[in-house]
Amino acid sequence: MSETLRISIDQRGVAELRLARPQKHNAISADMIEELTTAADRLGRDDRVRLVILRADGDSFCAGGDLGWMRAQFNAGRRERMVEARRLAMMFKALNDLPKPLMARVHGNCFGGGIGLISVCDLAVAADTVRFGLTEVRLGLIPATISPFVVARIGTAAARPLFLSGKTFDAAHAGAIGLVGCVVPAVDLDTAVEAEIEAFLAASPQAASRAKALVRSLETPISDAVIDAVVRQLADSWETPEAREGIDAFFGKRKPNWSLPES
């Protein structure tokens, strides 16, 4: 039985894949990595499923990587860090390669790996109250494993300032850069999602799958070499003194030593 997800399939063939760690703001843990990877394979092979909705319980869509999981990497050896980084990268690839339409329903906060989850979806519908951020650099880390998918989604021009500053941004900006395809008032979120579900269900299931494969064939491929490169870079990032300082500062509820003093 899943510890981090809830999965259901309705009579129309609409599967709900719910992140279910609300007490941790649905941060991506080791268990969630495994369970999302397994769920992507299972739902992709299930002939009943025509569409998958990625959504979340609680106040946040996804707070990014679980900081306890990240902290554990500092006490691991290089080989263990590489294994964990690869598991994370392959989770995103499994969702990206899902042969069914994948749509995100986004509410609350969405940071780091949460933006990675949106980027592997075919469409994201977001409430206008959502706050986004690729905040890894503020912890001394880099958004390595999600980077191929985020850059494919929003392009390098939009990615550069967000990757390098870690600043947060609103749903309007997320819509402007193409991270989300639809921004609606929070009270209208479910209505907007249902309207998009009806649009997807009007398509032939097999044709939709072939059309998704067509689009992916025209993109720059996220190859094994690309995955290998970002895995190494994440493992390297975990080994830096700044990463240890950033995570320790977060848990210590203090500013990291690179922060400017308040004037």
Report pLDDT for 1. 56
pLDDT tens-digit map of 80-98: 999 999 999 999 999 999 9
pLDDT tens-digit map of 14-61: 999 999 999 999 999 999 999 999 999 999 999 999 999 999 999 999
All domains of the chain, ordered by start, with CATH?
5-207 (3.90.226.10)
Report pLDDT for 261. 72
Report pLDDT for 260. 78
CA-based end-to-end distance of the chain: 52
- Per the CB < 8 A criterion, the answer to whether 97 and 90 are in contact is no
| pLDDT band per the 50, 70, 90 thresholds, residue 259 | confident
pLDDT tops 70 at residue 263: no
pLDDT tens-digit map of 168-207: 999 999 999 999 999 999 999 999 999 999 999 999 999 9
pLDDT tens-digit map of 111-160: 999 999 999 999 999 999 999 999 999 999 999 999 999 999 999 999 99
Report pLDDT for 262. 66
| CA 88 to each of CA 66, 97, 213: distance values in angstroms, whole numbers, following the listed order | 12, 14, 23
Report pLDDT for 46. 97
For residues 172 and 253, give the distance between their C-alpha atoms in angstroms, rounded to a whole number: 30
**Among the listed residues 244, 242, 254, the one whose alpha carbon sits nearest the alpha carbon of residue 70:** 244
Residue type, 35: E
